[in-house]
Amino acid sequence: MNTSTDKLIETTQALLWERGYVGTSPRAIQDRAGVGQGSMYHHFRSKAALAQAAEERSAAELIEEVRQLLDGLGDPLDRLLAYLRLERDVLKGCRIGRLAADPDVVADPSLRKPLEDTFAWITERLAALLREAQLGGRLPAGYDPQSIAATVLAVRQGGYVLARAADSTAPYEQAVQGLVALLTSIAVVAGQTTG
């Protein structure tokens, strides 16, 4: 990829995470990237097209990070719990999830799609791990893996929102610890009934 194109995308990724779509002006992108207006619009027809490219790259990076963790070795439930405990810059929030609060992103199907696809992928991967845990006797068969996976993702994303609102990581940590405790207790019960 062309270095100015790459620089524009990287800069837009950072600005979207920091300021959101509405707060990221073409001028701010150009200034931080050190690229002129003509160069920016030579590579991208609009701010929305550049933002979409930045979102797609952020989504691909996040999916790869999650894939490495969830596709590792070991017990599937332990891998899911490791995902919940994954260290993050909590007060900065999720680089994909933060964009879901931006009305311009949500209103534009092409800007919303990378978010929707990323969350769907993560939910499906978590559900697959939960099904594996059920097959291995670590979780009871009566629980719906898809619903639990959606809950795991909602706790992560909602935890970011609560932490940012409180300007403290405590609400995020409390939400994650609560879900870890619930999943662990369910797993203990499953182990006692199958063991």
Q: Tens digits of per-residue pLDDT, 2-11?
A: 688 999 999 9
Q: Evaluate whether residue 135 is within a structural domain.
A: yes
Q: Evaluate whether residue 133 is within a structural domain.
A: yes
CATH number of the domain where residue 92 is located: 1.10.357.10
Distance between CA atoms of residues 117 and 41, nearest Å: 27
How many Cβ atoms sit within 10 Å of the Cβ of residue 149? 21
Q: Evaluate whether residue 70 is within a structural domain.
A: yes
By the 8 A CB rule, do 118 and 62 touch? yes
Q: Tens digits of per-residue pLDDT, 135-151?
A: 999 999 889 999 999 99
Q: Report the share of the chain in percent with pLDDT over 90.
A: 79
Burial 53-73 (b: 16+ CB within 10 A, else e): bbbbbbbeebbeebeeebeee
Note down the domain range covering 144: 53-194
Q: Evaluate whether residue 21 is within a structural domain.
A: no
Distance between CA atoms of residues 163 and 21, nearest Å: 21
Distance between CA atoms of residues 144 and 68, nearest Å: 24
Q: Is 135 exposed, middle or buried (0-12, 13-18, 19+ CB in 10 A)?
A: exposed
The two tokens of residue 21 are 């779509």
Identify the pLDDT of residue 134. Answer: 94
Q: Evaluate whether residue 152 is within a structural domain.
A: yes
Q: Tens digits of per-residue pLDDT, 95-139?
A: 999 999 999 999 999 999 999 999 999 999 999 999 999 999 999
Question: What is the Cα 68 distance to its own chain's centre?
Answer: 14
In total, how many domains does the chain have? 1
How many Cβ atoms sit within 10 Å of the Cβ of residue 123? 20
Q: Evaluate whether residue 1 is within a structural domain.
A: no
